[in-house]
Amino acid sequence: MSQAATPQADIPQAPLSQDMVVKCIGLTKVFKDFWLRNRVKAVNAIDLDIHRGEVFGLLGPNGSGKSTTIKLILGLLHPTAGRIAVFGQHPRDVKNKQRIGYLPEESYLYPFLNAYETLEYYARLFHQKRGIRKGRIDTLLEMVGLQHVARRPIGEYSKGMQRKIGLAQALINDPDLLILDEPTSGMDPIATADVKRVILSLAERGKTILLCSHLLSDVEDVTDRVAIMYGGKIRRHGQIDDLLEQHDRTMISTPAMDPQTEERVIQALESQGVCDTSIARPRQKLETLFLNIVAEAQASGAATSGAESGGKIAGFLATGADARGDAVIEQLVATRSTGSDAEHPSESELARDESKAHEDQVIGSLTGGAGAPGPEAPSPAPQTPPQEQADTSLIDSLIQKKDEDHKPNG
C-alpha cells in the first residue's frame, strides 16, 4: 500500500520570505495500525504560515490534530503528504534544533533531579559553558518564579510547577521559535497569568511563538493570529481581533452614568433611529478578580508553599532572530555575578570543540530528530528521558556532584 510521501515531500520548492518561520503546504498525517492500514487522518491537508515575531495560536478540541501538527513541524513525525519548512529548512535540519524550544504536552522530567539540576542537564546537552549555564538557569528560575524551590526534587512539584520548569527548559537555548503544547495545563490562574506574561514578553522581544491549547481564554489573551482545528482540518484562521469582532454591534464605553443620563442617551439614540439599545455595567474577568484577591493576600504577607509569581523576563533571551551570538554571550558574561564556580576556559572550550559531533546528536535527541531521519519518530518529546539516545552520564555526574555542590565552599 504505497503512501503519498515521497522522500523529499517536505522540502519546500518555492523560496521563502525572510519573515516566514514555519510554512506548511498540504500537510497531512495518517497514522496506521499494526497491519499498516490507514487508521486516523490526524492532520488533513493543512496550510499554515507562521511569521517571525508573532504569537500563533493553534486551537481545537482534544484529538483535533494540534499536537500532531506540532510534531510534524518539529520533525518528530514524518508527514504522509505535504511540505514543511522551518526557518526555510527541512524540519529535521540539525541547524534548526538549536533555534527551537519545545514544551511538549507531557513533560518528561526526572523526578529525582531538582529544578536547578534539571535545567543544568538541558543546558549541558547544548554544551553551554558552566558560567553561562549558571547565569541562564538562575535568571530562568527567577523568571518562572521557582527560584525558592530550585533545590527541591521535581517529583515533589505540582503539575503547574512542573509545567513552569518545562517552560524554562524550553528557553534554555534562547530559541528563536518557541513551541508550546498546552503550556498552561494543570496550572492555577496565577501560574497561567505568569506564563501568559512570559509569552507576551518573549513576543515583544521578537521571538516567534506557536502555542497550542484547548483553553480558549489563554489563547485569546496572548495570540495575534489563530487557526481553529477540528478533525485534522483548519476550519477558520485569521487575526484574533478580526475573528472575534461582532461587525453588527457597536459598543460605547463611558464613565458610570446616573439613570437619568442613561435614559436621555437611549432617547437620543432612538431619535436617530437606533433601536435595540441596552446599557449595562461592564464586568471584569473572573481571572482579574482572582488575581487581584491573591495579590492583596500576598501584600498582607500571607505565605504559600507553591511557586511564586515569576520575575522579569530573563535578560539572556535575545531580541529577535538576528540578535544572537556574541552579543548574547557578552551580555551574559557582563551580567553574571562574579563567578565562584568559573570553569577553566580552555578546558570547556576544548570540550566544546571535541564534542561537536556529540552536540548534534544530543541536540537531535532533545528535539527528537537526531542526525539520521528515520521513517518515523513516534515518541520523542525533547524532554523525554533519553533512554536510548541519552547521555545518561550527565545525569550520573549530576547526581554524584550533588553533594559537593551543596557544600558551602564547593
Nearer to ligand ADP, 42 or 187 (CB): 42
Cell of 22: 514555519
Specify whether the CB–CB gap between 142 and 310 falls below 8 A.
Answer: yes
Of 53, 47, 46, 69, residue with least CA distance to 21: 53
Q: Which helix (H) or strand (E) holds 286?
A: helix 286-299
x-marked contacts with ligand ADP along 18-57 as a string, rule CB under 6 A: -------------x--------x-x---------------
| Torsion over CA: 116, 117, 123, 124 (sign) | positive
Say which residue the cell 506564563 belongs to.
195
Nearer to ligand ADP, 66 or 207 (CB): 66
Closest separation between CB of residue 62 and Mg ion, Å?
7
Which of ligand ADP, Mg ion, none lies near 40, with the C-beta cut-off 5 to 8 A by kind? ligand ADP
Residues of 88-110 as b/e, b for ≥16 C-beta within 10 angstroms? Answer: ebbbbbbebbbbbbbbbeebebb
Nearer to Mg ion, 62 or 300 (CB): 62
Using the rule CB under 6 A, which residue among 12, 23, 53, 64 binds ligand ADP? 64
Using the rule CB under 6 A, which residue among 12, 65, 79, 104 binds ligand ADP? 65
Check residue 62 for interaction with ligand ADP (CB under 6 A). Answer: yes
Closest separation between CB of residue 59 and ligand ADP, Å?
9
Q: How many residues bind ligand ADP (CB under 6 A)?
A: 12
**Distance in angstroms (rounded) separating the CA atoms of residues 239 and 327:** 34
Amino acid at 256: A
373's CB contacts (< 8 A; 6+ apart) are: 75, 78, 92
Check residue 378 for interaction with ligand ADP (CB under 6 A). Answer: yes
Specify the stretch interacting with Mg ion by CB under 5 A; choose among 99-107, 247-255, 274-282, 337-345: 99-107
Closest separation between CB of residue 68 and ligand ADP, Å?
3
Of 63, 58, 6, residue with least CA distance to 40: 63
Which of ligand ADP, Mg ion, none lies near 31, with the C-beta cut-off 5 to 8 A by kind? ligand ADP
x-marked contacts with Mg ion along 40-79 as a string, rule CB under 5 A: --------------------------xx------------
Closest separation between CB of residue 11 and ligand ADP, Å?
23
278's CB contacts (< 8 A; 6+ apart) are: none
Give the orientation angle of helix 326-335 with respect to helix 130-143, to 10 degrees: 80
Check residue 60 for interaction with ligand ADP (CB under 6 A). Answer: yes
Nearer to ligand ADP, 42 or 113 (CB): 42
Check residue 311 for interaction with ligand ADP (CB under 6 A). Answer: no
What phi and psi values does residue 43 have, to the nearest 5 degrees?
-130, 130
Nearer to ligand ADP, 40 or 266 (CB): 40
Cell of 247: 461587525
Closest separation between CB of residue 62 and ligand ADP, Å?
4
Q: In the sheet where 20-32 sits, what is the strand order?
A: 38-51, 20-32, 81-86
Chain-centroid distance, C-alpha 16: 24
Closest separation between CB of residue 70 and Mg ion, Å?
8
Amino acid at 23: K
What phi and psi values does residue 260 have, to the nearest 5 degrees?
-65, -45
Nearer to Mg ion, 114 or 162 (CB): 162
Closest separation between CB of residue 39 and ligand ADP, Å?
6
* Burial category of 255 from C-beta neighbours within 10 Å (exposed 0-12, middle 13-18, buried 19 and up): exposed
Nearer to ligand ADP, 43 or 222 (CB): 43
Using the rule CB under 6 A, which residue among 68, 80, 173, 208 binds ligand ADP? 68
User: Given the rule CB under 5 A, which residues bind Mg ion?
Assistant: 66-67, 105
User: Given the rule CB under 6 A, which residues bind ligand ADP?
Assistant: 31, 40, 42, 60, 62-68, 378
